[in-house]
Amino acid sequence: MMKKITGFLLAGLFVLSGCMKEPTTVELKKGTLVEATIHAQDPYIEARNYNHAYIYLPPHYDGGTSYPTLYLLHGYGSDYRFWQSVEDIKDILDYMITKGEIVPMIVVMPNGYNDFAGSFYTNSIDSAYPAFGQFEDYIINDVIRFIDSAYATDTTKRAIAGISMGGYGAMKLGAKYPELFKVVAGFSGVYDFDLFLAQDSVTGMSMVDMVIAENGGYISPLNINEEHPLTSMMFAMGAAFSPRVRDSSYFNPRENKFSFSPYYLNPSLYMGVQLPFVIDSLDTINNMVKGYWHLDSLTWAQWEDNNVKNIFINNAQNIISAGTKYYMDCGTDDELKLNFHLMVLDGTLNQLGIPHKAELFSEYPGYPESTFPATHTSHLYLRVREGLSYISNNIE
């Protein structure tokens, strides 16, 4: 198995996100934060101990009253501890519940970390072969079932939310299983893979071009590390959407087919990743190596099956019938250009008639854009409070 990525956060995007908290002057009603092991049916998740979670229990929880439940997903490069270690989510929840800004709720922070530093909350599977973790099944089946059995939950009042990769995961699962969730919220999520192929108007480079440039040419799995964040994220997405469990002869790095280890369920096979593009030739643009490439149509179709925009389109009738409501936001200066993802999904949901609120922000009162640009995770404390309020207002 490849060397695990431990502790790095994509491009340092998360390290400054908790710096805008207002002072707390009220005496807080204290909830409880507990750590739990939530076992998975998937042997990959179990063997690697990717089965931990933080669970927030609201003030005065005694198991006698049923509460709404929020499943709060972390971003790429982090794990279930993100929301507490970076944002002190317990303090935010205590404050908002004390002030009456949100209803008391149980908040579950499950793990979505895997050997590639992020599962995208997706079932990694190649035909009949499970690969790098069945994380969609883990959340939808194992985690929810455990929480409903172990805690006093109101199963008619369930929500899911997340940041970045977690925003993708929340919107994806909320669109695939609208009957399970009354409210869904995504902060700075990835919602339309097609935009990875579009050239930026300033640099003339697409996200694929930027990955190739980050490698200085052909893609290398040796660059799955913190110095190559886009490459690392691209491999993580490949492990989620287009894993390969094949004979060793299948893999060819020149075709962006990479093997990583013998298959843990059958050592005669190898487990790897196929990226959806193939580099044809190289050139230089803006002093960066740019690859001329084409899409592998079958592999790209697998990615499109996991494209949030497409899932909403394909499941629109079920979503409307369920009455699920959706919230999403993103900053205008998002480093990954995910503000354009939000605009595309906002337009799609408007066309489909799906109830939602979309907020594209450049600044917040007291935080001028010139001093605090609206980046991937900036203003997160304020944004989470808005998202929690939306969830609370629509979960009853």
Domains of the chain: 13-192+307-395 (3.40.50.1820), 195-299 (no CATH)
| Mean of the per-residue pLDDT values of the chain | 90
pLDDT in tens, 279-338: 876 555 454 445 578 899 999 999 999 999 999 999 999 999 999 999 999 988 888 899
Record the tokens describing residue 268, joined without a space: 């005669």
Measure the CA–CA gap between 89 and 72, rounded to whole angstroms. Answer: 10
Contacts of 16 (CB under 8 A, 6+ apart): 377, 378
pLDDT of 4 reads: 39
Instruction: Please give the helix or strand (H or E) that residue 356 lies within, else none.
Output: strand 356-361
Average pLDDT over residues 241-255: 95
pLDDT of 6 reads: 38
Q: What letter represents residue 335's amino acid?
A: E
Q: Which residue has the tokens 């049916």?
A: 41
Q: Please tell me which residue, 374 or 98, carries the higher pLDDT value.
A: 98
Contacts of 260 (CB under 8 A, 6+ apart): 1, 2, 221, 270, 271, 272, 273
Q: Does the structure show a pLDDT above 70 at 7?
A: no
Contacts of 346 (CB under 8 A, 6+ apart): 328, 356, 358
Helices and strands, counts by H and E, the chain: 13, 15
Percentage of residues of the chain with pLDDT beyond 70: 90
pLDDT in tens, 51-74: 999 999 999 999 999 999 999 999
Query: Most confidently modeled of 14-23, 70-79, 192-201?
Result: 70-79
Sign of CA dihedral 41, 44, 46, 51: negative
Q: Does the structure show a pLDDT above 90 at 194?
A: yes
Query: Most confidently modeled of 4-18, 287-301, 379-393?
Result: 379-393
Record the tokens describing residue 392, joined without a space: 């609370």
Q: Does the structure show a pLDDT above 50 at 14?
A: no
